[in-house]
Amino acid sequence: MRERQLIPYFDKEKPFFLFQNRGSGLMCPSENTPLILNSQNFLHARNLLGQEFEHILFDARTTLNLDALAIAIGTLKAGGTLVLWLDSKDHIDLDSRRWSGVEKGIITPNFNRHFYRLLQSFLFLSEHSTPSFIGGRIGPPLRNHHQSPTIEQQNIIQKILTSPADVAILTAKRGRGKSALLGMLSDEIKHKKCWLTAPNKSAVKTLQDFAKQPIIFIAPDDLCQQIQQDPTQYQQDWLLIDEAAMLPLPVLHQLVSTFERIVISTTMHSYEGTGRGFLLKFLANLHRTFQQFELIEPLRWAKGDKLEKFIEALLLLEAEDNFIQPEYDPQTAMQIRQISQSEIVKKIVDFYGLLSLAHYRTTPLDLRRLFDAPQQRFYLAENEEYLLGGLWLMQEGGFQSMALIEKICRGERRPQGNLVVQSLAFQANLPQACQLHSLRISRIAVQPKWQQHGLGQQLIQTLIEQNDVDFISVSFGYTEALFHFWRKCGFVLVQISSYKEASSGCYSMIMLRPISVAGECVVKKAQVYFQRNFPFSFHPLKKKFTFPLDCQLTDDDIHILKNFAFFHRTLFSSIGAIRRLMAISDVQHCPLLMDYCQRKEKDVQLMGGKKNWLKQCRLEVAHLLTQNNIV
Q: Under 8 Å CB-to-CB from 80, ≥6 apart: which residues?
A: 4, 5, 53, 54, 55, 56, 138
The DSSP letter of residue 20 is B
Give the DSSP H/E element, type plus range, for residue 116: helix 109-121
Helical ranges in 238-286 per DSSP H: 249-255, 276-284
Q: What angle do CA 86, 92, 93 make, to 5 degrees?
A: 55
**Pick from 364, 301, 242: which is nearest to 73 by CA?**
301
372 contacts 100 by C-beta, under 8 angstroms: yes
502 contacts 247 by C-beta, under 8 angstroms: no
**Pick from 386, 485, 486, 472: which is nearest to 437 by CA?**
472
490 contacts 475 by C-beta, under 8 angstroms: no
- Across the strands, what pairs with 106? 93
The DSSP letter of residue 190 is -
The DSSP letter of residue 146 is -
Whether residue 522 is annotated as binding a ligand: the answer is: no
Whether residue 445 is annotated as binding a ligand: the answer is: yes
Q: Under 8 Å CB-to-CB from 304, ≥6 apart: which residues?
A: none
489 contacts 513 by C-beta, under 8 angstroms: yes
Whether residue 153 is annotated as binding a ligand: the answer is: yes
For the chain, the 3-state helix, strand and coil shares in percent, each to the nearest 5, are 40, 20, 40
227 contacts 258 by C-beta, under 8 angstroms: yes
Q: What is the CB neighbour count within 10 angstroms for residue 11?
A: 8
Helical ranges in 428-489 per DSSP H: 432-435, 455-465, 480-488
Q: What is the CB neighbour count within 10 angstroms for residue 236?
A: 12
The DSSP letter of residue 54 is E
Binding residue positions for acetyl-CoA: 444-446
Q: Which residues are annotated as a binding site?
A: 153, 300, 444-446
- Residues marked as binding for ATP? 153, 300
